[in-house]
């Protein structure tokens, strides 16, 4: 039996301004121990590591969250990497992605990827919490703090998804960073790995859990500018 990539709600729902979820962190953890997402009101970036779920806020804070809070969008897997490549050195984001594209990733399936080590450079950005009436996400990201870190050890957790999942999730590579001291992190824009390893597992089963809300049922989840909107919000 194929193992499952599990997600609640959709990227296009976030683009449509649906920033309140109805799925708890506890429920999410029943479906995986590895993943990324966001929080209600778009209050920061999520990293799932084991049974710990971290919130990386726009103020630069990192904390563990209570399992009773809900998420408007998150994706998880039970991670048991089948491909491990150690002793990577001096690899920037572009070179890393090209290497995976050519040698390791299943480009038409779902790839869960963990990159661990020492980074000479990490650039992150983190969405700030929003209040109703919610502005569109393409506006929100214009005001998000960007952070640059140097010589920091940590882990990048994320996925490479096929282009045909555009809107359902984020196509291409999408990583969230968390430092080893659990004090820094965010949505990854760029990095240079000085030394470390990556681990990868391919998933060929996909479960989409949709929110129960009337708002979700009424939202336009396939607007004409969807691809451009995702590029702006997630690059």
Q: List interacting residues with Zn ion (CB under 5 A).
A: 187
Minimum Å distance from CB 45 to Zn ion? Answer: 5
Which of 93, 187 has the CB closer to Zn ion?
187
DSSP E strands: which ranges in 57-165?
62-64, 70-71, 73-77, 83-92, 110-125, 146-161
Phi, psi of 215 (to 5 degrees): -55, -45
* Peptide bond preceding 133 in cis form (omega within 30 of 0): yes
Please tell me the distance from the alpha carbon of residue 94 to that of residue 129, in angstroms, as a whole number: 30
Minimum Å distance from CB 156 to Zn ion? Answer: 11
Minimum Å distance from CB 44 to Zn ion? Answer: 10
Please tell me the distance from the alpha carbon of residue 234 to that of residue 114, in angstroms, as a whole number: 18
Which of 86, 185 has the CB closer to Zn ion?
185
Minimum Å distance from CB 170 to Zn ion? Answer: 7
Which of 85, 125 has the CB closer to Zn ion?
125
Residue least distant from Zn ion (Cβ) = 187
Beta bridge partners of 159: 112, 174
Enter the DSSP assignment of 142. G
Minimum Å distance from CB 40 to Zn ion? Answer: 16
Which of 23, 204 has the CB closer to Zn ion?
23
Which of 41, 85 has the CB closer to Zn ion?
41
């Amino acid at each position: 039996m194929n193992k499952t990539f599990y997600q609640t709600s959709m990227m296009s729902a976030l683009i449509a301004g649906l920033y309140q979820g109805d799925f708890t962190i506890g429920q999410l953890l029943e479906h995986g121990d590895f993943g990324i997402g966001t929080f209600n009101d778009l209050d920061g970036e999520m990293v799932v590591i084991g049974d710990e779920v971290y919130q990386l806020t726009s103020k630069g804070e990192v904390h563990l969250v209570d399992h009773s809070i809900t998420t408007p969008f998150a994706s998880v897997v039970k991670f048991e990497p089948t491909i491990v490549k150690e002793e990577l050195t001096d690899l920037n984001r572009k070179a890393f992605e090209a290497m995976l594209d050519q040698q390791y990733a299943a480009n038409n399936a779902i790839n869960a990827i963990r990159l661990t080590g020492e980074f000479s450079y990490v650039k992150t950005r983190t969405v700030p919490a929003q209040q109703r009436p919610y502005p569109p996400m393409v506006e929100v990201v214009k005001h998000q703090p960007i952070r640059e870190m140097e010589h920091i050890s940590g882990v990048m957790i994320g996925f490479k998804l096929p282009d045909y999942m555009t809107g359902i999730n984020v196509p291409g590579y999408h990583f969230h960073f968390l430092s080893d001291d659990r004090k820094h992190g965010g949505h990854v824009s760029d990095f240079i790995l000085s030394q470390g390893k990556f681990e990868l597992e391919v998933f060929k089963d996909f479960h989409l859990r949709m929110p129960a809300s009337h708002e979700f049922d009424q939202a336009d989840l396939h607007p004409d500018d969807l691809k451009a909107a995702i590029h702006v919000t997630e690059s």
